[in-house]
Amino acid sequence: MNDLEMYRESLALCDDKIIDALVERSKVVEKIMAYKEEYGMPILQPQQEAKQALRLEEKLNGNKYREEIMDIFECIRMNSKKIQARKLFDYNIVMIGFMGAGKSTVAEYLSTMFAMEVVEMDQEIVKEEGMSIPDIFATYGEEYFRNCETELLKKMQSRKNVLISCGGGVVLRECNVEHMKKNGRVVLLTASPEEVYERVKDSDDRPVLAGRKNVKGIAELMEARREKYEAAADIIVNTDHKTVLQVCEELVQRLTEMDGE
């Protein structure tokens, strides 16, 4: 065997070690999940992720291949999260709730924690139609916008493991709820009118709030929609005075409990 052949042989052995280590690592990820489940521990532990990142930084400090190895570990981390997400949520997580309840914020956070794709219904429709929501309402009317929502939900039935952040009015149509539930668990996020007002008061992106962007107007519309939101929900999570992490932790806990029922 010449030198080149020997090097190639060594490279193949390195690859074998990497594969073995990755398989071992994936098994450990599954063991950690099982442990947390058995002892009722929170699944989301962002401080642990930060600790792992710090350890890696220290370990690779001064390493000639630091950047390349970091890049590979980013990929490993993402894939570990995907293994976790696929095991936990074999369905779409559909977030509903009043404007400002925190659907987008929670979807974004969960997507970071579980490397799950987010579909922002409002944004998706804006992209497809090539105009803003206030413009769609003004040009074609609300009914047209609601049809766009229904079509998008139908499309999402063929997907799973996606976080769907719904527009605030999606549940107004009964058929939309049926579409959501085909392949999804529906999570209702709630917040008090006072809290919603604080969260939305500086934005003009929500045409439905035009002329009633005050606590009273919000409370009235919320009450008018409450029954429909609650009827659609598989679980309800209140977000008042909670951090986004607390909301996400409760949501994950409740969804995983549903599987055990």
Ligand X SMILES: Nc1ncnc2c1ncn2[C@@H]1O[C@H](COP(=O)(O)OP(=O)(O)OP(=O)(O)O)[C@@H](O)[C@H]1O
Ligand Y SMILES: O=C(O)C1=C[C@@H](O)[C@@H](O)[C@H](O)C1
By CB under 5 A, name the binding residues for Mg ion: 103-104
Q: Is 99 in the site for ligand X (CB under 6 A)?
A: yes
The yes or no reply on residue 97 touching ligand Y (CB under 6 A) is no
Whole-angstrom CA distances from 249 to 140, 189, 190, 240 are: 40, 13, 15, 14
Per partner kind, with CB cut-offs from 5 to 8 A, the member of ligand X, ligand Y, Mg ion, none near residue 193 is: none
Cα 118 to Cα 133: distance, rounded to the nearest angstrom:
19
Contact in structure between 235 and 185 (CB atoms under 8 Å): yes
Does position 100 interact with ligand X (CB under 6 A)? The reply is yes
Q: Which is nearer to ligand X, 5 or 202 (CB)?
A: 202
The residue among 239, 236, 232 whose CA lies nearest residue 255 is: 236
How far apart, in whole angstroms, are the C-alpha atoms of residue 14 and residue 21? 10
Tell me which of ligand Y, Mg ion, ligand X, none is bound by residue 244, counting a contact when its beta carbon lies within the kind-specific cut-off of 5 to 8 angstroms: ligand X
* Of residues 99 and 252, the one with the C-beta less far from ligand X: 99
Q: By CB neighbour count within 10 A (0-12 exposed, 13-18 middle, 19+ buried), where does 59 fall?
A: exposed
Query: Smaller CB distance to ligand X: residue 109 or 114?
Result: 109
Residues that bind ligand Y (CB under 6 A): 99, 122, 133, 167-169, 206-208
Residues that bind ligand X (CB under 6 A): 97, 99-105, 122, 165, 168, 199, 206, 239, 242, 244, 247
